[in-house]
Structure 1
């Protein structure tokens, strides 16, 4: 009795393969025996018979076709070869799936950016309008930073790969805008190891984390606070830290979704080798993003 229909089908398929092999070996044996007799007869016979070589060629072609049919069914290189090829094809499919997931995540991020930009756009323009009469120089400065930020974010939203230097420039323009709005309530610093400037980095990877720190940590705090963005190298990895001394980490719908999106994006972009760690402080919060460096930068070289 078979445990399942699949087991029975496997057994029947194996029997068919064995019978096919047996039939081929019988055919091969007959070919060798008969043609050996014909060749010997032709060589040692009283008269030369050219036609005796015809079965050797014609039958040989038939035997070859028979062998191709049998071995293509059974597997010329055996079960281990078959299993290795299956594993190879599965690995290719997995790589294709990961590539598709990466494209999907990037598309989702672009959609998210497109949804965020109008909200940020209207708020910033409203702030500029409110400053035109009482503080025209401040309104002009805000517009300059706003234009620079839009230019950088538009380029980032269209790109699949950026650099640390580009991300740092985008963050400086973004924080300069927020600084005008919050005034002395916001103090910030961006420290980037110069050796990391040309390191590849997914566009707008850190900006949502900085935005979360402002929105949930520093802006609700009456006296504001300090924000530090630091990118350093640790061996073959890069550590990006976003630290604030605001209200601390308070799980909310928007903050939770933002961090979940960040983890998902990192998992796909860096094949599970990147890590995110949230450190609660008194006061404030630190978010640490640990990213593997690509091979040339890991070895201390530049492409």
Structure 2
């Protein structure tokens, strides 16, 4: 029962201790401590009152934690706290009456009122006073937890940004694939004599990809349109290498081109499709890129000719980085799945909040 953080017990002792000292000051100021009998009665009643307050508020805290009252919305919290405060105050009033009666701590005036009004009416009057104290205690408890949760949220946000930055920097290294750059440069070299105009275009496409990879850590999201531009540049370079072995299809909902998505995420899926799908097929195949809005979720879908294996389905830094980034950026609000859609077609799908 008496387990808890040290800070909680310090607040309990300081709060109820301050309440005791306040009553002690007023008792001294009005001369109620001059008489030995009155002084003894005051200390006995005050200590009983403080003991009841500490024990009952701690029991109330246990109920708050067990029932997870702090996890509801603010309206439900207020109603629950008011109801809990009243019930606790009623119990405090009854316990106080029984304790005072057992130890004969009632004053002569209170004994007369008991005879006139009865036990329940006196207990009710005491409950009203206890209600005020319980409401105050719960208000302080609620404000403290809101402030603490807000500070923790700020710390978590800063930590999240730091982790995202670190993860994105690692993703940069994975996206600047030396094999891809080597293949692209070889393709461009072959075009220099055969098709100089296409070689210049390929250099521009490679430059765009490298620039995007290097600058992606500066922002958490980019417009879908900008991401598609990079994907198109990447596929254009790969088509120089694969020629007729690579067919590309786009199925894009143009109404969502201004939606924000994490940078280089769609490009990573396309690169995975080329590397583990088309690159392993002797006859090549098709890469299909889709983007649509379904159930208020942005759905990014990449399909490619090939067969799903453990190597390209669940492992590899590229796909793992997608899972980690989604988890960090949209906890519980995103999804990522890669599956064998048909015997000849693999599908990778990402769902993001719109």
- Matched residue, 1:266: 326
1:265: how far off?
A: 0.2
Could you say what secondary structure the match of 1:222 adopts? coil
- Is 1:287 aligned to residue 285 of structure 2? no
Task: Map 1:73-92; keep pairs closer than 5 Å.
Answer: 77-92=136-151
| Number of corresponding residues | 251
Alpha-carbon deviation of 1:243? 0.8
Instruction: Give 1:159's aligned residue.
Output: 219
Q: Is the 8 A contact 1:187 1:227 kept in 2?
A: yes
- CA distance change for structure 1 residues 19 and 92 in 2, over 3 Å: closer, same or farther? closer
Aligned: 1:219 with 2:279? yes
Does the CA contact (< 8 Å) of 1:228 and 1:243 recur in 2?
yes
Check conservation: 1:75, 1:82, Cα contact below 8 A: no
Q: Does 1:94 align with 2:153?
A: yes
Unaligned runs of 5+ in 1: 35-73, 294-303
Aligned position for 1:109 = 168
Flag the 1:117–1:21 CA change in 2: closer, same or farther, 3 A: same
Q: Which runs of 5+ in 2 are unaligned?
A: 33-132
Q: Is the 8 A contact 2:184 2:238 kept in 1?
A: no
Q: How does 1:25-174 map onto structure 2 within 5 Å?
A: 25-32=23-30, 77-117=136-176, 119=178, 120-133=180-193, 136-174=196-234
Q: Which of 20, 23, 30 pairs up with 1:22?
A: 20
Equivalent residue in structure 2 for 1:208, among 268, 275, 285? 268
Instruction: Quickly say closer, same or farther: Cα 1:237–1:143, change in 2 above 3 A.
Output: same
Using the size of structure 1 for normalisation, the TM-score is 0.71
C-alpha distance after superposition, 1:18-74 (max 9, x if no partner)? 45432320212332459xxxxxxxxxxxxxxxxxxxxxxxxxxxxxxxxxxxxxxx9
| TM norm structure 2 | 0.61
- Matched-pair contact (CA < 8 Å) for 1:274–1:289: yes
1:87 Cα deviation from its structure 2 partner:
4.1
**Cα 1:12–1:212, aligned 2, differ >3 Å: closer, same or farther?**
closer
RMSD between superposed Cα atoms in Å: 3.3
Counterpart CA distance in 2 for 1:111 and 1:284 is 30
| Alpha-carbon spacing, 1:218–1:27, altered in 2? closer, same or farther (3 Å) | same
Alpha-carbon distance change, 13 to 197 in structure 1, aligned in 2, over 3 angstroms: closer
Q: CA deviation at 1:99?
A: 3.8
| Structure with the higher helix share, 1 or 2 | 2
- Partners of 1:32 and 1:136 lie apart in 2 by 102
1:175 alignment counterpart: 235
